[in-house]
Amino acid sequence: MQSMRLMATLGVAAFASLIQPAQAQEPIRIGVMFPITGPISAQGRPERDAIKQAFEEENNIIAGRKVELLYEDSAGRPDTGLTKVKALVERNNVHLLVSELVSAVGAAVAPYVNEQKIPWVSTVALASLTREMKSPYIFRYVPSSYQYATAAAESAKKLGWKKVYLIGWNAPPGRETHEALKKAFGPENVIDAMFPNVGTSDYAPYISKMDPSKADGVFAAMWGADAPRITQQYVEYGLSKKMPLFGIASFTSEELLGDMPPESEGLLSSYTYCGTLDTPENKAFVEGYKSRYKELPGSYQYMGYMAAKMVIQAIKDVNGKVEDRQAFTNALSKVQVKGPMGMTSFDENRGMVGDFYALKVVKGPDGRLQNSCGERIPQVKDPYHLFP
């Protein structure tokens, strides 16, 4: 009886070892969830498209294994996002996730992903992902709010700014930008910080409160369609001539420039993507995106594209064996990729590190607004020492 059981076990083991190679031929399944409908869809859809582009450049075969992208729509809502991620993990058995850009969705999904031990390269700027969460499975390929706001403050200081205004969303990125500015300029030099609710359409009350004789410039920490809207109103109230406006993070992202008023020439920013940067990698990225989707890529597309590039390199480094999550996440934390903006990698807490550029909106040769790339700020890292 004992030996019978032993033989059966051995038999099963032998059978399992036989089917092992067949299992390795199974495609690598990657969950790609972005807000495809809802108010953030204008950013979510193109970012997803750029991820698709990165995998297409590899013909969807990496290290000899076919790659299958499984798309979901979070609608930018935490509850929907969590349901969809659960479906990707439990029904579709994805090996890893390259997903999301909305902070609230990121915060809702993170504990579940950590519990399930699914490697996730997120494009959510949530600072807590690489702080309180610190899950070995969660990577963040987008600067955190502290990271981009500190970089912006440093850029502005180089322009001689000493006293500043801030107008930002009444949400974690806006509030964290405030913290970073207070640290960089000194709390007394942030003359006033205003936090309209997300989705405020009329900024007139806030803008007409700003006094150009009291400050050197204004930081704006709001994104998507709110960026052109506040720029428009800033111009209308005659402030753009008296006091420069500095957009935080993706404020001047290429897809938004078309909606900016012509007078927004001179708008400043500092971020990890500059559309007109002259590198072969950037040319390839821009051309590839343009030929597929008939538009110029902006910073959202860049994040998605690079998040995918990091994953592709890590899959190559483990020879396609993504089932070994330990080995895969180890490889991912060591990955270094030369992308459109130069070398980039993950830091010790799995947050993105890469070059930033001082940006200025100018009129391009075709008369349309574009970002001109100013000074390169090498290898900007999340300032953990300032904001633990």
191 vs 218: CA distance, rounded Å? 10
Tokens of 215: 């400050």
Q: Which residues contact 265 (CB under 8 A, 6 or more apart)?
A: 361, 362, 363, 369
Residue 140 binds another protein, judged by CB under 8 A:
no
76 vs 35: CA distance, rounded Å? 5
Residue 378 binds another protein, judged by CB under 8 A:
no
Residue 224 or 351 with smaller CB distance to another protein: 224
Question: If residue 228 lies in a helix (H) or strand (E), which one and from where to where?
Answer: helix 226-236
Q: Tell me, what DSSP letter sits at residue 126?
A: -
Residue 262 binds another protein, judged by CB under 8 A:
no
Instruction: List the one residue from 196, 247, 304, 340 that touches another protein (CB under 8 A).
Output: 196
Residue 218 binds another protein, judged by CB under 8 A:
no
Residue 199 binds another protein, judged by CB under 8 A:
yes
Residue 77 or 381 with smaller CB distance to another protein: 77
269 vs 368: CA distance, rounded Å? 18
Cα separations (Å) of 95 from 65, 75, 252, 328? 13, 23, 35, 10
> How do strand 342-346 and strand 352-363 relate by DSSP bridges?
antiparallel
Instruction: List the one residue from 204, 284, 343, 386 that touches another protein (CB under 8 A).
Output: 204
Site string for another protein, 35-54 (x = CB under 8 A): --xxxxxx------------
Residue 154 or 263 with smaller CB distance to another protein: 263
305 vs 193: CA distance, rounded Å? 34
Residue type at position 113: V
Instruction: List the one residue from 26, 79, 90, 202 that touches another protein (CB under 8 A).
Output: 202
**From 22-30, 118-126, 142-150, 231-239, span contacting another protein (CB under 8 A):** 231-239
Burial 75-102 (b: 16+ CB within 10 A, else e): bbbbebbbebbeebbeeeebbbbbbbbb
Question: Minimum distance from CB of 224 to another protein (Å)?
Answer: 7
63 vs 313: CA distance, rounded Å? 10
**From 103-111, 199-207, 291-299, 351-359, span contacting another protein (CB under 8 A):** 199-207
Instruction: List the one residue from 87, 171, 191, 225 that touches another protein (CB under 8 A).
Output: 225
Instruction: List the one residue from 236, 295, 317, 347 that touches another protein (CB under 8 A).
Output: 236
Residue 139 or 195 with smaller CB distance to another protein: 195
Query: Where do contacts with another protein occur on this chain (CB under 8 A)?
Result: 37-42, 194-197, 199, 201-202, 204-206, 208-209, 224-226, 228-229, 232-233, 236-239, 259
